[in-house]
Amino acid sequence: MTSERPDPDALLRKVQDEETRAQRAKLKVFFGASPGVGKTYAMLSEARERKAMGVDVVIGVVETHGRSETAALVEGFESVPPRELPYRGIFMQEFDLEAAKRRKPHLILMDELAHTNVQGSRHEKRWQDVLDLLDAGIDVYTTINVQHMESLRDVVAQITGIIVRESVPDTVLERADEFELVDLPPEDLLQRLREGKVYVPDQARHALDRFFRKGNLLALRELALRQTAQNVDAQMRRYMASEGIQKTWGAGDRLLVCVGPHQLSVRLVRATRRLAATLGGSWVALYVETARHLRYAPEDQARIEAHLRLAEQLGAETAVIEGGTAIGPDILRFAREHNITKIVVGKPARPRLRELLRGSLVDELIRNSGDIDVFVITGDEGQEAARPALEPRAREPWTAWLWAVFMVTAASTVGLLLFRRTELADLVMLYVLGIALVAARHGRRPSLLASFLSVAAFDFLFIPPYHTFAVGDFRHIGTFAILMFTGWLIGTLTERIRQQARLARVREQRTGALLRLSKELAASAGSMELVESAIHSVAAQFHTEAVILLPDANRRLAAPRKAPAFAFTDQEQGVAQWVFEHGEPGGRGTATLPGSRATYLPLRASGGIVGVMGVLPEGEAQWTEPDQRTLLEAFASQTALAVERLHLAARHEDARRRMDEEQLRNTLLSSVSHDLRTPLGAITGAASTLLEQGEAIPEATQRELFRSIQDEAQRMHRLVTNLLDITRLESGAVVVRKAWTPLEEVVGLALNRTEQSLAGRPVKVELPPDLPLVPLDEVLLSQVLVNLLENAGKHTPPGTPVEVRAWSTGAAVTLVVADGGPGLVEGEEERIFDKLVRGSRHGGEPGAGLGLAICRAIVEAHGGRIQAANRSQGGAQFLVTLPLDGAPPELPTESEEGVE
């Protein structure tokens, strides 16, 4: 899940950030060094002023802690009524986010940004509520103490010795448009404390006594001032950037922090975040996955994941790469590829000896880093006692130990047979062979046992004095040592190979699953099919239930088409919608709405969020394991890309079609305007002649003029009808209303309507009496026949015979209109069905070339085919083939008592 972005993107993001900043709601933070400095008071005072200026101010949450001066300030404000939530049997009051959003004031006051919401609220933390409010376009005033800033937690803990549980990511505070430090000198604060003006709950009094020491307060105040200065600085830089002022700070710093399962990683991440903020650079958190990864206990794997998530929360990009035994070169390669300028690593807590044997990562990084700076961060001694994370996960079966004993026994037996016939060194080799076999089959620890037993057996059997463990010649001690060491070495090496093979297998499975998914996705044609195959793949891979929700045109997620097995309630839908709108994971196992049944991941593609994937964790551990989680995210992003690909393809196709249509429309317009003007000209001419000199014109000529007016009007009528027909057909406004109909009925209709245009051409109709009923729309299909017959009338000399025939093949019925005219021009058989195309032999007869296009549209709407061909005996024929699709229900037989 390497999600690296090049720098230009970050730049662009900054620009967009500025743009949205201008329009979006404002966040103002009242920042204090410790409780009791008067943040709430300052916030309320300022809100009063704003209210006096006519701003619509509402209180979301304000903790007065029973202080009268603060309570006095609250009066006169409207406040959002809190929501009652049942929590462990009692009802807790909590801020009602939905009500606040419905009320939609201009400005809302939200005290205590770091507050943790009661379970059952939409978000786990109040700062998430605040972000939601800002997104809804509501200005927010809020308060926070320095110790609640995520990146300063460690520092505060170091100063005061108190570990703060509730914290707010720095990114939230960076979003603040205004940052006001509420400052009170420590002496005054202590004075207030003594006077009881600072609220201290009884149960915390002891801890707080430790907290409110002058030294602490001074340090905290300094920290707060520094943080404020930093924020002001950041604001200034934002301003300078937005005003195009040349930047004066070191640009393009990119930091890399390496994390692992060790506790120290948390400190590393926070330190890097601070460093990155000070340098104004971006940063990446990296985990190198080696063969050792599989040996980590599940909780350690979870910790690695947590460290990466923490970094993500603090604004880092995260990456996981695969590495060999020594991870130094892998880290450096990654750093070079990603233009890293500074690497942050932890100071190793390993014994010196091991470092000497294996080399130290820090040394290697420093030696080979070239122009990349390396920062080494130390950990506290207290935290240093990290858990031994390297316990192998699986224990060897007892047969493995038996194997070790057996191999040594076997080696000893062979050795006894060869004893005195060969050198002692050859016997040693026998034991080495045995150890190697055990190592190959069962790994390191049984091979260690085999080594030990080998040494013992060798000594006992072959070293004088025989059959005792005493050693006569001290030179043999060296042999023992070598045997022991060789055994250990072989065991360790084979173990590592085995682990690498296992890791490779796991990776292969993962890649295989992804490959299968991407193949399936690539093969799916429509979004429905795609969604189904993605759901199927996710369900199969994670043994769970999955849903995929895609948005409609109004960016509302549609309910899943096929209801998943778990109850997909409106509430679940709400969570999914939230995930879709905010682009962050939500639901079970996340910080937002953890009470829902499934976990929802946004489907993020390059162009934004294209949908939401919901997964029901079946066995909780199934995919909350970091490995699986990573794989699931990979699945989600694959699916997202596939969905986006489909969208893009559809859009492309749409654009192409639009262009085609545009061009066609232009041609059509010019053709139609010509065809409409011609009859209009004739009508206008004839009418004006009659009007102006009616009396002077002989009666026969008058009649002729009248007739031409009527003919031309009818011609226009036909053209307009055709135009309307083709427009309706192509826009899909025409519904084909199929009914089982005798073909004779349609033929009769068409013949009656074309009597005039056929003008006495003899029509031969041949319809077999056993012709089945055909499912067709008589209105549309008779139009096809009319057009074909009129065509025959247009393109053949007067008196040419016309034929209408039909036959059935059982699966389809074919209707033929044939004429004995000049026939079609070779090669035009297909083209004549296109719009605006007139056959080359087209006479002067007007018409926008729509007739056959209409025929084709209608026949194809029936699921049939229309073809044109020349007849062997001369003339053209048009074949309309319509599918039968079964047979109509039988007619009930009638009693035969007829009517005479």
Of these, 202, 381, 570, 894, which contacts another protein (CB under 8 A)?
A: 894
Minimum CB–partner distance for residue 697 and another protein (Å): 21
How far from 758 is each of 626, 845, 899, CA to CA, in Å?
80, 14, 39
895 binds another protein (CB under 8 A): yes
**In this chain, which stretch among 92-100, 334-342, 412-420, 891-899 interacts with another protein, using CB under 8 A?**
891-899
Of these, 82, 348, 551, 742, which contacts another protein (CB under 8 A)?
A: 742
Cis-peptide into 892, omega within 30 deg: no
Minimum CB–partner distance for residue 752 and another protein (Å): 7
**In this chain, which stretch among 24-32, 106-114, 139-147, 740-748 interacts with another protein, using CB under 8 A?**
740-748
- Contacts of residue 661, defined as CB under 8 A and 6 or more positions apart, other chains included, come to none
Contact criterion met (CB below 8 Å) for 131 and 174:
no
Minimum CB–partner distance for residue 124 and another protein (Å): 57
Site track 768-787 with another protein (rule: CB under 8 A), x = hit: -----x---xxx--x-----
Site track 25-54 with another protein (rule: CB under 8 A), x = hit: ------------------------------
Exposure b/e, 300-314, CB count within 10 A at least 16 = b? bbbbbbbbbbbbebb
Cβ proximity to another protein: between 358 and 737 the closer is 737
SS3 594: coil
- Contacts of residue 553, defined as CB under 8 A and 6 or more positions apart, other chains included, come to none
Minimum CB–partner distance for residue 897 and another protein (Å): 7
Site track 3-22 with another protein (rule: CB under 8 A), x = hit: --------------------
371: which 2 tokens?
Answer: 């122009």
Minimum CB–partner distance for residue 698 and another protein (Å): 23
Minimum CB–partner distance for residue 785 and another protein (Å): 11
Amino acid at 760: G
739 binds another protein (CB under 8 A): yes
* 355 vs 361: CA distance, rounded Å: 9
Up-side HSE of residue 771: CA atoms within 13 Å toward CB?
Answer: 20
Minimum CB–partner distance for residue 768 and another protein (Å): 12
Cβ proximity to another protein: between 310 and 729 the closer is 729
SS3 332: helix
Contact criterion met (CB below 8 Å) for 852 and 787:
yes
823: which 2 tokens?
Answer: 């026939």
Cβ proximity to another protein: between 240 and 687 the closer is 687
What is the 3 state secondary structure string of 748-787? HHHHHHCHHHHCCCCEEEECCCCCCCEEECHHHHHHHHHH
Contact criterion met (CB below 8 Å) for 615 and 542:
yes
Minimum CB–partner distance for residue 717 and another protein (Å): 6
Contact criterion met (CB below 8 Å) for 665 and 627:
no
403: which 2 tokens?
Answer: 């194997």
Residues 851-890 that bind another protein (CB under 8 A): 888-889
**In this chain, which stretch among 15-23, 160-168, 606-614, 765-773 interacts with another protein, using CB under 8 A?**
765-773
Minimum CB–partner distance for residue 622 and another protein (Å): 55
* 729 vs 717: CA distance, rounded Å: 18
* 565 vs 764: CA distance, rounded Å: 64
**In this chain, which stretch among 67-75, 480-488, 648-656, 739-747 interacts with another protein, using CB under 8 A?**
739-747
Contact criterion met (CB below 8 Å) for 819 and 800:
yes
Sheet holding 763-766, edge to edge: 763-766, 802-808, 812-819, 876-883, 865-870
Cβ proximity to another protein: between 748 and 822 the closer is 748
Q: What is the radius of gyration, based on Cα positions, of the chain? A: 43
For tokens 């390191």, name the residue.
Answer: 444
Cβ proximity to another protein: between 47 and 776 the closer is 776
Of these, 140, 686, 751, 818, which contacts another protein (CB under 8 A)?
A: 751
For tokens 């349609």, name the residue.
Answer: 746
Cβ proximity to another protein: between 401 and 740 the closer is 740
How far from 380 is each of 127, 259, 523, CA to CA, in Å?
30, 17, 55
Of these, 191, 752, 756, 840, which contacts another protein (CB under 8 A)?
A: 752
How far from 594 is each of 91, 129, 571, 585, CA to CA, in Å?
19, 14, 12, 10
Phi first, then psi: what are they for 35, rounded to 5°? -60, 150
Of these, 14, 247, 717, 841, which contacts another protein (CB under 8 A)?
A: 717
Contact criterion met (CB below 8 Å) for 316 and 273:
yes
Contact criterion met (CB below 8 Å) for 477 and 471:
yes
Phi first, then psi: what are they for 162, rounded to 5°? -110, 130
Cβ proximity to another protein: between 797 and 892 the closer is 892
Of these, 210, 358, 737, 841, which contacts another protein (CB under 8 A)?
A: 737
Cβ proximity to another protein: between 75 and 890 the closer is 890
Cβ proximity to another protein: between 248 and 895 the closer is 895
Minimum CB–partner distance for residue 855 and another protein (Å): 16
Angle between helices 475-523 and 424-442 (to 10 degrees): 30
Minimum CB–partner distance for residue 798 and another protein (Å): 20
Minimum CB–partner distance for residue 788 and another protein (Å): 15
Q: Which residues pair with 163 in a beta bridge?
A: none
**In this chain, which stretch among 86-94, 210-218, 523-531, 892-900 interacts with another protein, using CB under 8 A?**
892-900
For tokens 């996981």, name the residue.
Answer: 320
Minimum CB–partner distance for residue 748 and another protein (Å): 5
- Contacts of residue 398, defined as CB under 8 A and 6 or more positions apart, other chains included, come to none
687 binds another protein (CB under 8 A): no
Minimum CB–partner distance for residue 737 and another protein (Å): 7
Minimum CB–partner distance for residue 876 and another protein (Å): 21
Cβ proximity to another protein: between 243 and 897 the closer is 897
Residues 604-643 that bind another protein (CB under 8 A): none
Of these, 745, 822, 871, 883, which contacts another protein (CB under 8 A)?
A: 745
Cβ proximity to another protein: between 203 and 895 the closer is 895
Minimum CB–partner distance for residue 759 and another protein (Å): 16
**In this chain, which stretch among 326-334, 591-599, 679-687, 743-751 interacts with another protein, using CB under 8 A?**
743-751
Of these, 747, 784, 818, 880, which contacts another protein (CB under 8 A)?
A: 747
825 binds another protein (CB under 8 A): no
* 357 vs 883: CA distance, rounded Å: 82
371 binds another protein (CB under 8 A): no
Cβ proximity to another protein: between 236 and 765 the closer is 765
749 binds another protein (CB under 8 A): yes
**Angle CA(850)–CA(856)–CA(862) in degrees, nearest 5?**
140
Minimum CB–partner distance for residue 719 and another protein (Å): 13
Minimum CB–partner distance for residue 867 and another protein (Å): 23
Contacts with another protein: how many residues (CB under 8 A)?
Answer: 32
Residue-by-residue DSSP string for 778-818: HHHHHHHHHHHHHHHHHHS-TT--EEEEEEE-SSEEEEEEE
Cβ proximity to another protein: between 417 and 891 the closer is 891
* 719 vs 276: CA distance, rounded Å: 73
* 264 vs 389: CA distance, rounded Å: 13
Residues 694-713 that bind another protein (CB under 8 A): 713
* 697 vs 119: CA distance, rounded Å: 98
- Applying CB under 8 A, the residues found at the interface with another protein are 713, 717, 721, 737, 739-742, 744-745, 747-749, 751-752, 765, 767, 773, 777-779, 782, 888-889, 891, 894-900
